[in-house]
Structure 1
Amino acid sequence: MAADFAIRTYRSANDFLVACAPALVATRSISANFALTTTYALEEHPNEQGMSGSGDDLWISAILCCDDHPHDARPLFALAIIGNHAGRLASSVDLKGLPPARISDAMHQLVLAAREANVAGTRIFGIIGPKALCEPFADAWGSEYGLRPKLIMDFALTYVTRTTLRPSTLSLASNVTLGLCLPADLGVAAAMSERATHPMDEPVPPPLDAVAAHVHAKKLIDGRHLYGARVDGVLRSIVSITRETPGVRAVSKAYTDPLVRGLGLAEALVRYALQRVFEDGTVHSVCLFFEPSNPSAVRLYSKIGFTITAGENEDWAEVAWETH
């Protein structure tokens, strides 16, 4: 028997955040927080590149109504369809504690609600979120709209807190300096930003071309979100840590010039940037995505203090629709 869900649709970021963000953020789930990033960005900066002003943005929530959960702890699932981004999925509960059949039914209900709201099948080019949500959602969306889902990538979500951040054991050469990137760094930083682009980057969907990378790098520098490591005064490594939701930040870009790799610049720079971010007492965690199959990334982030434990990090996925 299908689970009983209360379905709600919202046409503004503010209405959705007022109704649903408290339940999602209260979990202190890095996953739930991260899934709200584009919504917060739209609410705070509606006119920025990549943010839609056409009025066809849509948020849908599905609240599980049953006796298994107290009224104030009912699982809430949410779908955000914003601008020209991939759709985003979020849940207010640990998905490992829910039967797969209920998760699948929730995703089906979200898809039906989108259909009833006259959302076209190609309105989103794909879906991003916890894998336990993405897979059944993509199947339901594909079935409803006659599209074939295609897995783009698997990755895992990890995070570091002020207390788990580990002190450095590195000794950098005297010709290495760390600090915020400056307006004069824009040209080099933009070129690095273009090469470092990850499909999850905001606010521009993939791929970033040279012009978009320049705009994005300028935004990061102006916002004091882009940090750099210099060797003999030349910018050789960058990392950006951006605001995601209240209390949560994310490592969104990281790139080191191949000519200076192996010197510990990336580790030193990421740790330095995290220390600066945690000086803001309202920040409780910084998250990032990584590929568990990449041993160098696993070693790097583990040394810094990110929580990386086999079977414990939440699996995420990006799924798109095959084109013919």
Structure 2
Amino acid sequence: MKIIRLKPEHASDYYQLRIEALQNSPEAFASSYEEEVRQSAAKYETRFGMDDSYTFGAFQDGCLVGSVTLLKEQLKKLSHRVNIVAMYVKPEYRGFGIAAALMEKAIQTARQIGEVEQIHLTVVSTNTRAIKLYEKNGFTLYGTVNQSLKTGSNYVDELLMVRFL
């Protein structure tokens, strides 16, 4: 397995992975499949060229099988924080340490950015595997947003987690 920072030329592969993630785990993301499928890979070409967004991809045999994004806060008073979003690993590749390797790369990058003191993320309360991964990597719970996401008539709570560097 190889983990790299995605570049604009990876946008199409990432877009396909993102669509899959939203289809396979709709409750885990604030974005919906219906919204994302109306977008295009060009959206990610732009994002992957930016300095304040770091999307890492895990490749197995040349195929993108997982990803995570680290976003730097833009406001001066929040410049000591980054956010982890859009963590996903294809189901058939789970259990092999890919998510842990992606998380390690994101944390390592956060340390290298400079000024960063905190890493924030949200996770749905039903995703126990992700919660365990985050706790294992030093994240602690600091709040819950009840009924944060709604799909149809179903609600999911989101847990707010932070890791101090």
Pair 1:190-2:10 in alignment:
no
Number of aligned positions between the proteins: 138
Match in the other structure for 2:45: 218
Q: Which runs of 4+ in 1 moved over 6 A?
A: none
Following TM superposition, by how much is the alpha carbon of 1:218 offset from its aligned partner in structure 2, in angstroms?
A: 2.3
Q: Any conservation in 2 of the 1:194–1:210 contact (CA below 8 Å)?
A: yes
Q: Any conservation in 2 of the 1:191–1:213 contact (CA below 8 Å)?
A: no
Residue 48 of structure 2: SS of its match in structure 1? helix
Following TM superposition, by how much is the alpha carbon of 1:238 offset from its aligned partner in structure 2, in angstroms?
A: 0.7
Contiguous gaps of at least 5 residues in structure 1: 1-175
Contiguous gaps of at least 5 residues in structure 2: 23-28, 153-165
Match in the other structure for 1:288: 121
Match in the other structure for 1:243: 72
Q: Any conservation in 1 of the 2:17–2:64 contact (CA below 8 Å)?
A: no
Match in the other structure for 1:66: none
Pair 1:260-2:93 in alignment:
yes
Following TM superposition, by how much is the alpha carbon of 1:180 offset from its aligned partner in structure 2, in angstroms?
A: 0.2
Residue 140 of structure 2: SS of its match in structure 1? coil
Selected match of 1:227 from 56, 65, 76: 56
Match in the other structure for 1:208: 35
**TM-score normalized by structure 1?**
0.39
Residue 188 of structure 1: SS of its match in structure 2? helix
Selected match of 1:315 from 133, 144, 155: 144
Following TM superposition, by how much is the alpha carbon of 1:241 offset from its aligned partner in structure 2, in angstroms?
A: 0.8
- Higher alpha-carbon Rg: 1
Following TM superposition, by how much is the alpha carbon of 1:207 offset from its aligned partner in structure 2, in angstroms?
A: 4.8
Following TM superposition, by how much is the alpha carbon of 1:213 offset from its aligned partner in structure 2, in angstroms?
A: 5.2
Residue 279 of structure 1: SS of its match in structure 2? helix
Match in the other structure for 1:271: 104
Quickly say closer, same or farther: Cα 1:194–1:319, change in 2 above 3 A. closer
Q: Return the alpha-carbon distance in structure 2 between the equivalents of residues 247 and 297 of structure 1.
A: 24
Q: Any conservation in 2 of the 1:250–1:287 contact (CA below 8 Å)?
A: yes
Q: Any conservation in 2 of the 1:188–1:235 contact (CA below 8 Å)?
A: yes
Q: How does 1:16-35 map to 2 (within 5 A)?
A: none
Which deviations, in whole Å up to 9, do the C-alpha atoms of 1:235-258 show, x marking residues without a partner?
Answer: 111111112341111112111122
Q: Any conservation in 2 of the 1:193–1:213 contact (CA below 8 Å)?
A: no
**TM-score normalized by structure 2?**
0.71
State the identity %: 22
Aligned partner letter, 1:187:
S
Aligned partner letter, 1:289:
T
Q: Return the alpha-carbon distance in structure 2 between the equivalents of residues 232 and 206 of structure 1.
A: 27
